[in-house]
Structure 1
Amino acid sequence: MKIMNCPLNGPRNISEFVYGGEVKTMPNSLTCSDKEWADYVFYSDNTIRVITEWWYHSASGYWFIAERHTASDEIFKTYDPSELFNERIEFESKPEPVEEKSA
């Protein structure tokens, strides 16, 4: 049985966790191209290395970060996201085009 250390709940069976993707710098959604956004959402380097990933503990609803080696699957460290992120990002929406009414 594989065990993962949850920073909130301690060592737990890996079946209690859901992979959330690699931690990457998000492009500005208002100014980036469709290709840049698609690359951010759908693509990764897929190289053998230690990566930083989002993980979700489904039993408690807790998101956290793990550092894991992609070849050996060894988890080196897990920690609360506040260690990397110290401010909230507010998303602005693109203004809707104004439709002109004909007379």
Structure 2
Amino acid sequence: MLLINCPWCGPRDETEYHYGGQAHVPYPGNPADLDDRQWAEYVFYRDNTKGPFAERWMHGTGCRRWFNVLRDTVTNEVLASYRLDEARPEPQQAAAQAGGPR
């Protein structure tokens, strides 16, 4: 079970949240210019990173806001959580804030 820190509500059990996929995936600048292959890549293709990975989560039973989580996919450890308007923290910085060595 994960303990995820909502930037607005504080730490809560993962059952209060909904997973939203990979974070920091920019919407295409000119969507009308994309062909079918490019749309398929945008919609379906995501990174499958081993290690720190930025994800989107929504606090469904709390404030209902979206935010980002930096989670280590190997250890399942939540390294950081941050608002959508904040920059992604570096994994070493996030691990230090979480209290664990990297």
TM-score computed with the length of structure 2 as normaliser: 0.73
Q: Which runs of 4+ in 1 moved over 4 A?
A: none
The percentage of aligned residue pairs carrying the same residue is 38
Q: Pick the aligned partner of 2:41 from 39, 42, 67.
A: 39
Which secondary structure state, in structure 2, belongs to the residue aligned with residue 30 of structure 1? helix
Q: CA RMSD in A?
A: 1.5
Number of residue pairs aligned between Structure 1 and Structure 2: 84
Q: Residues of 2 paired with 1:49 and 1:74: CA distance?
A: 10
- Asked if 2 retains the 8 angstrom alpha-carbon contact of 1:53 and 1:65, the reply is yes
Name the residue aligned to 2:75: 72
Which secondary structure state, in structure 2, belongs to the residue aligned with residue 41 of structure 1? helix
Larger Cα-atom Rg = 1
Name the residue aligned to 2:28: 27
Deviation at 1:3, TM superposition (A): 1.1
- Asked if 1 retains the 8 angstrom alpha-carbon contact of 2:3 and 2:14, the reply is yes
Larger helix proportion of the pair: 2
Q: Residues of 1 paired with 2:5 and 2:51: CA distance?
A: 20
Q: What does residue range 1-103 of structure 1 map to in structure 2 within 5 Å?
A: 1-23=1-23, 24-28=25-29, 29-59=31-61, 60-84=63-87
- Asked if 2 retains the 8 angstrom alpha-carbon contact of 1:27 and 1:37, the reply is no
Q: Residues of 1 paired with 2:85 and 2:47: CA distance?
A: 25
My pick for the range that moved more, 55-64 or 23-32, is: 23-32
Unaligned runs of 5+ in 2: 88-102
